[in-house]
Amino acid sequence: MTHLAYDAYRRLERPAHLGPLGAGRRARQPLGRIVVRPMRLTDVPAVAAVDARVYDTPWREQVFVEHLGHSRYRYWVAETSAIVSGYAGLQVAVNGHVTTVTVHPDYRRLGVAGKLMAVLAEWAAQHGVARLRLEVAMANHAARRLYAGVGFTSVGLRKDYYGVQKDAVIMERQMPDASLPAPVGDQGSKA
């Protein structure tokens, strides 16, 4: 079971000290530059600490350690001012399954998840992953907006996936075929 199968929908509250959000607007400027890089074993304690803070059923450190040692998984961390502010994971086959996208409550609405998703998708495109897929709780509007904003569309529903009357939306994003030439006028990414 992945994090996306956990009851993350319970964790949508915004930290009180950040105040209420304006509709669709970022609440404050980033605290520092967001750097996304592959997760290392030495990141696991910090990542697991965030996991324990965010989820009711967090992953043990050992789960991250095992995934990091497995070629079918890829994980990235986001650092903000050298602090682990978020992380994301991908289980890779012909298609990719997003295993987790998690941002520390103190670093939300700063673009951390967006940057993690951009790096994850870029990696997937470069490694021939045809399609990305994930499940997200119907009630998790923040995550659904995040995914819709980076090109995922809803393709199905899993009834009671997170418990009784707690459905999951299945979302997918088709990846560009990296073997095809880029369309004329496509300048690529400078990131």
Ligand X SMILES: CC(C)(COP(=O)(O)OP(=O)(O)OC[C@H]1O[C@@H](n2cnc3c(N)ncnc32)[C@H](O)[C@@H]1OP(=O)(O)O)[C@@H](O)C(=O)NCCC(=O)NCCS
DSSP state string for 90-130: EEESSSEEEEEEEE-GGGTTSSHHHHHHHHHHHHHHHTT--
Question: Residue 77: enclosing H or E segment and its boundaries?
Answer: strand 73-80
**CB 37 → ligand X: shortest distance, Å?**
16
Least CB distance from residue 96 to ligand X, whole Å?
A: 15
Nearest approach in angstroms of CB 179 to ligand X is 30
- Of 169, 7, 5, 31, which Cα lies nearest the Cα of 106? 31
Residues that bind ligand X (CB under 6 A): 4, 8, 11, 24, 26, 54, 101-103, 108-114, 136, 140-143, 145-146, 149
Q: Of 90 and 101, which CB lies nearer to ligand X in the complex structure?
A: 101
Nearer to ligand X, 90 or 110 (CB): 110
Q: Compare residues 24 and 181 and give the one whose CB is closer to ligand X.
A: 24
Provide the Cα torsion 95, 154, 47, 117; round to 10°: 70
Q: Of 8 and 180, which CB lies nearer to ligand X in the complex structure? A: 8
The gap between the terminal CA atoms of the chain, to the nearest Å, is 33
Q: How far is the CB of 134 from ligand X (least distance, A)?
A: 6
Q: How far is the CB of 86 from ligand X (least distance, A)?
A: 6
Q: How far is the CB of 185 from ligand X (least distance, A)?
A: 26
In terms of C-beta density within 10 A (0-12 exposed, 13-18 middle, 19 or more buried), how is residue 29 classed? Answer: exposed
Q: Which residue has the tokens 């509250």?
A: 13
CA distance 178 to 186: 13
| Cβ closest to ligand X, residue 3 vs residue 179 | 3
Give the span between the Cα atoms of 4 and 25, in whole angstroms: 25
* Closer CB to ligand X, 81 or 182, in the complex: 81
